[in-house]
């Protein structure tokens, strides 16, 4: 629990709201008055105030005054402007946690004139406490601040610390953008079920349980996916015919290309901030 620590969210968009909601619902932050959110859209501020009871402002500088933890949750396209506003304004002993895609630790430290920065890459599953977050810290982050980071990220799901910041770009492509790729696959499976004659509700329920069961089987057996795939693939059988069509359509290459394209875009965003 982060008792008596004031947390400032710079950006109250979708991901910022998800993280804030988890911190409150899990009681990691015991009281909503310990959180202040800065967002340029007044309607967004009103929504967050009424939904969660947190304080809001349209002024970034006002938000960080007295904050022990500052969470940067803005779009990469506006980051430079935000950093310029906040430069030298954050308390020297505060921790900055960034969820901004592509923004490196050195860039953030220099832009804020602040040494203690943690860069993270969460995904959308943080909304239900099953997120995946890879994170890396600057050398100035203290052990207590690292502990605070872990407490926050564990409320969101599974956290993976790394000393190699380069992994953050790869995590963005694989586990953050990857959720979108998985949702597209799920959508295609459901549509196929409907085409066969199932109701959309039936097709969705069967698809979700099939995927959830397959994932749980891998977790529990720790077997390679090819081993498990072979277990359900009889010679000349139903699965074999379906897999042949997927391979013929280049499914492996398409997935790999999608992940690599996402990595390239992440790196482009990094050079642009």
Q: Which CATH class is domain 171-272?
A: mainly alpha
The CATH number corresponding to 7-163 among 3.50.50.60, 3.40.440.10, 3.30.450.90, 3.40.50.720 equals 3.40.50.720
Tens of pLDDT, residue by residue over 31-58, are 999 999 999 999 999 999 999 999 999 9
> Could you tell me the residue ranges of all domains in the chain?
7-163, 171-272
Tens of pLDDT, residue by residue over 91-116, are 999 999 999 999 999 999 999 999 99
pLDDT confidence bin for 271, thresholds 50/70/90: low
Tell me the average pLDDT across 268-273: 72
Neighbours of 203 (CB within 10 A): 19
First to last CA, the chain: 33
Instruction: Specify the residue for token string 């199932």.
Output: 198
Residue 76, pLDDT > 60, answer: yes
Beta-bridge mates of residue 131: 157
User: Are the C-beta atoms of residues 54 and 37 closer than 8 Å to each other?
Assistant: yes
The span from the CA of 245 to the CA of 266, in Å, is: 32
- Mean pLDDT rounded to a whole number for the chain: 96
Looking at residue 217, what is its pLDDT? 98
Task: Give the helix, strand, coil percentages of the chain, each rounded to 5.
Answer: 60, 15, 30
Looking at residue 1, what is its pLDDT? 74
Q: What percent of the chain has pLDDT over 90?
A: 95
DSSP summary character for residue 54: -
Q: At what angle do helices 42-52 and 14-25 cross, to 10 degrees?
A: 20
pTM tops 0.85, yes or no? yes
The span from the CA of 97 to the CA of 70, in Å, is: 6
Residue 273, pLDDT > 60, answer: no
């Amino acid at each position: 629990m982060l008792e008596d620590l004031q947390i400032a969210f710079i950006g109250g968009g979708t991901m910022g709201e998800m993280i804030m909601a988890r911190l409150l619902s899990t009681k990691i932050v015991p009281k909503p008055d310990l959180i202040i959110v800065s967002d340029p859209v007044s309607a967004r501020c009103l929504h967050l105030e009424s939904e969660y009871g947190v304080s809001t402002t349209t002024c970034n500088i006002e938000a960080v005054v007295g904050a022990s933890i500052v969470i940067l949750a803005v779009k990469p396209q506006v980051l430079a402007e935000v950093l310029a506003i906040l430069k030298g304004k954050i308390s020297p002993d505060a921790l900055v946690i960034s969820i901004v895609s592509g923004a490196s630790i050195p860039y953030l430290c220099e832009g804020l004139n602040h040494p203690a920065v943690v860069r993270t890459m969460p995904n959308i599953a943080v909304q239900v406490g099953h997120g995946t977050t890879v994170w890396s810290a600057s050398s100035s982050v203290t052990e207590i601040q690292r502990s605070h980071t872990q407490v926050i990220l564990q409320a969101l799901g599974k956290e993976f610390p790394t000393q190699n910041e380069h992994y953050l770009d790869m995590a963005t492509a694989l586990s953050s953008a990857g959720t979108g790729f998985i949702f597209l696959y799920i959508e295609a499976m459901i549509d196929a079920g409907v085409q066969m004659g199932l109701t959309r509700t039936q097709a969705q329920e069967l698809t979700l349980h099939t995927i959830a069961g397959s994932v749980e089987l891998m977790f529990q057996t720790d077997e390679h996916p090819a081993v498990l795939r072979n277990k359900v693939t009889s010679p000349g059988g139903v699965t074999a015919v379906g897999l042949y069509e997927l391979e013929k359509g280049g499914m492996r290459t398409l997935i790999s290309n999608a992940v690599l394209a996402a990595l390239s875009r992440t790196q482009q965003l990094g050079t642009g901030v």
